[in-house]
Amino acid sequence: MQLAALPFTVTDWSGMPATTHPGETGQALWRTMQVGDVRIRMVEYSPGYLADHWCDRGHVLFVVEGRLDTELQDGRRFSLTPGMSYQVSDFGDAAHRSSSPDGAKLFIVD
């Protein structure tokens, strides 16, 4: 990852407009800042959220609130709680999808 030329920036995520992304069940609210090719997001999953696709994009993801369940296409499963993160590259066989039984707030850079 290479961040484009960017001056020191403070982001008030609470003032950033949200876009709604429906899942197979539930929805995700994304607050997004684009810096060159890098997307920085604060994402909130509603209770009962299940992604509607397998994602193969690389991410650095940090759980701020709630519980995130991540399933890899090869069958492995991980549960993350506040203060935990995962890192996955754009390359390899780590296609994944997210769900959240009770809702979650995430900080994601990809």
Per run of 10 residues, the mean pLDDT along the chain (length 110 residues) is 75 95 98 90 98 93 98 95 94 89 97
Does 48 map to a domain?
Answer: yes
Does 72 map to a domain?
Answer: yes
Number of domains present in the structure of the chain: 1
Does 51 map to a domain?
Answer: yes
Q: What is the CATH number of the domain that holds 37?
A: 2.60.120.10
Q: What are phi and psi of 91, to 5 degrees?
A: -110, 155
pTM of the predicted structure, to 2 decimals:
0.91
Domain span including residue 28: 19-109
Does 98 map to a domain?
Answer: yes
